[in-house]
Amino acid sequence: MKRYLTGLALVTTVMTPGAATRAYAHHSFAATYLETQNVTVEGELVEFLFRNPHSFVQLKVTEKDGTMVRYAVEWGGIGQLGQQGVTRDTFKPGDHLVISGAPGRNPEDHRVRMVSLLRPRDGFSWGHRPNEKVD
Amino acid sequence: MTPTLSISFRPALLVVAVMLAGTPSFAQVDLTGIWRNFNHEDWMERGGGSDPVDYLGIPLNDDGRARALSYNYSLLAQPEHQCGLNTPFYGFLDPFGNNIWTEFDPVTGRIIAYKIGAWLDKDIVTIWMDGRQHPSKDSFHSYAGFTTGEWQGDTLTTYTTHMKDGFLRRNAVSSSDQATMTMHITRHGDLLTMTALVEDPVYLAEPYVLSHSWRLDPTLNMPAVPTPCEPIAELPRMDKPGVVPHYLPGQNPFVNELTQMYNLPLVAVLGGPETRYPEFRQKLKDYVPPPICVRYCCGPNADGLNCIVDGSGKRQP
């Protein structure tokens, strides 16, 4: 397990002038996340909270200094993910996942808004098709 | 010769007369149905949501500004806040449609209330049409508040009191629980326009007005009730007792995010009554646009469109 891009210098800054509009619910993502930045976290699934209005992927990540940190990755709600084939049983605790997304505005939250997900074991992925965006 | 109605035409005329006489006192216009949102209207607000400190155009007083600046969005991750509902004004801020239906008096058949549905996280708004009074000022405040309505011509005018505090913009600019909202609902064919006027003696120096339109769309799947919400341990740090995310006065780290992004002066992004009026532009006459556009450059559904690439505000070929 390894966490990528922890420092500011390693944070990939992605300008997104061409991003199409999306419908968000529950809260403002712009106020919650640094949407012009992107981070990648990699670790083992602690819990998949499949729920409304947004689901959460709780990931156990080993920091560079060896400490273990639990990350909360915000994802779509039940309706949206369900239409894309994601169910409550798609993941099991311990699944090794690689997740990219926008980091939270408060670093102490260890929070990420899901942009893409990969499970290397079987190649399951999300976020690469046009409709796979967090609404 | 004096013209006369034929005997066979008289019953039909009677039916038409009864229909015309019976309808207007119940409802001037049919507001019921499912109304689709226009997401290109205020799309930055209704889509991704406002930037953290963007209060431009909101007539905040000092207390309203202080509250907004102290708000840390991680607060919504607390279990007690995760499943809270939004107040009726949020319908002007979110990207969803409206589902409107009526409730009838079972005896008289009169409309006693309009209901505005609540998907995803709004409370159902009940607009009482039976002339009842608003409760006392000390009565319970709910997310939806208490709303009465009356027809003014073809416009339904409503008045809402007894709301909890709620968002006026999706970056935590808030109204207090003393706020009231007057709303004008007008239908033009398949278009429904609502105009809201929020007055708040606690956080606003002047009324805040916002309007929005929806289009009738019976094919839209728009549930009438909020979706079930289950509080969870959303953020690990919230597991510790006593954690209440906030910013102390003068310590909001995002105060200058917008000023740097758009070269705007701080006085503009902090809002206030004067920022509502066109005359405020005179204060920005030395404004220098930023050299590059970094956000919201292509508009909604921008595939194939020309985008703004610099600070000119004009689309480039």
Chain B residues with CB inside 8 Å of A114's CB?
none
Query: Could you tell me which chain A residue has the CA closest to the CA of B261?
Result: A36
- Compute the distance between CA of residue A94 and CA of residue A67 in angstroms, rounded to an integer: 18
Residue contact B73–A28, C-beta within 8 A: yes
The proportion of chain B whose per-residue pLDDT surpasses 90, expressed as a percent, equals: 56
Give the position of tokens 């480039």.
B316
Minimal C-alpha gap between B30 and chain A (Å): 28
Check residue B308 and give its pLDDT.
Answer: 67
Among chain A residues, the shortest Cα distance to B97 is held by A23
pLDDT at B293 over 60: yes
Report the residue from B95, B254, B297 with minimal CB separation from A17: B297
Interface with A, mutate which of B235, B240, B254 (most A CBs under 10 A):
B235
Report the pLDDT value the prediction gives residue B236, as an integer from 0 to 100: 85
CATH number attached to the domain at B33-47+70-216 = 2.40.128
Contact A30 B49 (CB under 8 A): yes
Query: ipTM value of the model?
Result: 0.77
Q: A31 and B39: CB-CB below 8 Å?
A: no
Task: Report pLDDT for B309.
Answer: 66
Shortest CB distance from B230 goes to which of A20, A51, A106? A51
HEC string for chain B: CCCCCCCCCHHHHHHHHHHHHHCCCCCCCCCCEEEEECCCCCHHHHCCCCCCCCCCCCCECHHHHHHHHHECHHHHHCHHHHCCCECHHHHHCCCCCEEEEEEECCCCCCEEEEEECCCCCECCEEEECCCCCCCCCCCCCECCCEEEEEEECCEEEEEEECECCEECCCCCCEECCCCEEEEEEEEECCEEEEEEEEECCCCECCCEEEEEEEEECCCCCCCCCCCCCCCCCCCHHHHCCCCCCECCCCCCCCCCHHHHHHCCCHHHHCCCHHHHCHHHHHHHCCCCCCCCCCCCCCCCCCCCCCCCCCCCCCCCC
Domain ranges for chain A, please list them: 8-13+24-126
Predicted confidence (pLDDT) per residue in B1-33, tens digit: 444 445 555 555 555 554 544 444 455 799 999
Residues of B in contact with A108 (CB under 8 A): 237
Provide the β-strand partners of residue B127. B114, B147
- Which candidate from A22, A27, A105 shows the least CB-CB separation from B76? A27
Chain B residue with CA closest to A78: the answer is: B227
Contacts of B230 in chain A (CB under 8 A): 51-52
Closest CA to B101 of B129, B76, B77: B129
Is the distance from CB of B307 to CB of B315 less than 8 angstroms?
yes
**What are the residue ranges in chain A where pLDDT is below 70?**
1-26, 135
- Burial environment of residue B248 by CB neighbours within 10 A (0 to 12, 13 to 18, 19 or more): exposed
Mean of the per-residue pLDDT values for chain B?
86
pLDDT of residue A95: 98
Looking at the complex, report in whole angstroms how far the Cα of residue A52 sits from the nearest Cα belonging to chain B.
6
Report helix, strand or coil for A78.
helix
Task: Give the residue among A79, A77, A115 at the shortest CA–CA distance from A99.
Answer: A115
**Helix/strand/coil for A117:** strand
Assign A49 to helix, strand or coil: strand
The reply to whether residue A53 touches residue B120, judged by beta carbons under 8 angstroms, is yes
> pLDDT of B165-205, one tens digit each?
999 998 999 999 999 999 999 999 999 999 999 999 999 99
Taking contacts as CB-CB distances below 8 angstroms, the residues of chain B near A15 are 294
Q: Are B268 and B53 within 8 A, CB to CB?
A: no
Q: Which CATH code fits A8-13+24-126?
A: 2.40.50.140
Quick check: bond before A53 cis, omega within 30? Answer: yes
pTM over 0.95: no
- List Cα–Cα distances, B268 to A32, A108, B23, B122, in angstroms: 22, 30, 50, 30
Which value, to the nearest 10 degrees, does the dihedral of the CA atoms of residues B4, B7, B11, B16 take?
A: -20
Neighbours of A129 (CB within 10 A): 9
Cβ-contact A52, A135 below 8 angstroms:
no
> What's the gap in Å between the CA of A83 and the closest CA on chain B?
14
Distances (CA, A) of A44 to A7, A58, A118, A119, B31: 21, 9, 12, 10, 51
Residue of A nearest to B42 (CA): A21
> Tens digits of per-residue pLDDT, B95-123?
888 999 999 999 999 999 999 997 778 88
Residue with the bigger pLDDT between B226 and B300: it is B226
Does A16 sit within 8 Å of B228, measured CB to CB?
no
Query: Which residue in the set B52, B235, B303 is minimally distant from A109, CB to CB?
Result: B235
Give the helix, strand, coil percentages of chain A, each rounded to 5. Answer: 10, 40, 50
- Partners of residue A29 in chain B, C-beta under 8 Å: 48-49
**Selected residue with higher pLDDT from B221 and A5:** B221
Contact B96 A31 (CB under 8 A): no
Interchain pair A25, B120: CB under 8 A? yes
Q: Do B76 and A31 touch (CB under 8 A)?
A: no
pLDDT higher than threshold 90 for residue B210: yes
